[in-house]
Amino acid sequence: MNRSGWTLVALIVLLAVALITLAGIGSGVAEGMRGGLLNVNQTKAVYLAYAGVMDAIASYQAARGGNAYTLGEVPVVAPSEVFIRPLTSPQRDFLLVDMSPASLRYDSPTQARLINWRLRNVGPASPGVTMTKLVVAWTQTSISQEKSEWVTQVSFGPLLPSCTWTGKARSGEEIDIPDCALSTNNLIGSTQMFFNRGDIALRLPMTVTIRFIMGDATAPSGCVGAPPASEADPLLENCQRTAQFVSGGPRVGLFTVRSIGEVREPPFTARRSVRAEYRATSSTFIAFPNTLISWIEE
């Protein structure tokens, strides 16, 4: 009887140990399957985000909606998978500044003009983009000339007559232009920037840098909490778009596309975000003028 009792106790102990071991193995397998499914869904979400970028670029290139791409949620395999282009992007994402057709002209000893740089809102009409300030800087300015050179006028052409600014601003000084809204995706050409010295146009090489500060900038440095500039576009700053005119050199136009891929499969949702920089310019100095130049997972 004693032997039978101890045998029964041993069997119960072994059975308990086996059940605990099996429970642990089962839990590990379940957790591994859950992690594997999460990784699969995250991979799907990345691909969906990339698809959102490509759809936006295809929309822009095909001029659907007038060279603007649309925003909003787009189902892929409803209802579990979608890709989303969010409305929360900084305004400068939608501003394309193309310097490729621009030229710096000598008019007289007291006037030079940077003309025909182009602007476009590549996003939808709403919410649109609003330019509130400019910072213009130019090189090849000697110390003796620095205090006598300034921008005297900025004109955005006949489509935006109310945006014209007139005054005096030295190189690197902030210009408080009238709030200038690009509520549609019309191409803004016939732009002019006047300088008070004609010889600015005669110096070689000459670089004119224009920094556009947008209406959603909450501080001089840009948007609070916005992602940093990309390596592909070092001139890109938070809530600002910077363009450069280089005499005899490359002049490019860039805009930014953000996309979120989301996979909605219980018990969790996987989301991944991608930012891409698109170069859109007709410059003869660029071998591939219209192309994606960077992909960054945010």
Per residue in 241-291, pLDDT (tens digit) is 888 888 877 777 778 888 888 888 777 788 888 888 888 776 555 556 678
Q: What is the mean pLDDT of residues 68-93?
A: 75
Per the model's pLDDT, the better-predicted residue between 13 and 183 turns out to be 183
Q: What is the mean pLDDT of residues 129-135?
A: 91
31-45, 218-232, 254-268: which has the highest mean pLDDT? 254-268
What is the C-alpha separation between 92 and 76, in angstroms, rounded?
28
Predicted confidence at residue 284, as pLDDT, reads 56
What is the C-alpha separation between 168 and 136, in angstroms, rounded?
11
Q: What is the mean pLDDT of residues 72-93?
A: 75
> How many Cα atoms sit within 13 Å of 284 on the Cβ side?
3
Token pair in block for residue 122: 């590549």
Statement: residue 101 has pLDDT above 90 = no
Q: In a 3-state reduction of DSSP, which class is residue 175? A: strand
Per the model's pLDDT, the better-predicted residue between 143 and 42 turns out to be 42
> How many Cα atoms sit within 13 Å of 265 on the Cβ side?
13
Question: In the chain, where are the structural domains located?
Answer: 1-298
pTM: 0.75
Per residue in 162-209, pLDDT (tens digit) is 999 999 999 989 999 999 998 777 788 889 999 999 989 988 888 898
Residue 140 pLDDT level (bands cut at 50, 70, 90): low
Predicted confidence at residue 234, as pLDDT, reads 47
What is the C-alpha separation between 234 and 232, in angstroms, rounded?
6
What is the C-alpha separation between 188 and 168, in angstroms, rounded?
24
Per the model's pLDDT, the better-predicted residue between 14 and 191 turns out to be 191
pLDDT > 70 in the chain, percent: 72
Statement: residue 28 has pLDDT above 70 = no
Residue 4 pLDDT level (bands cut at 50, 70, 90): low
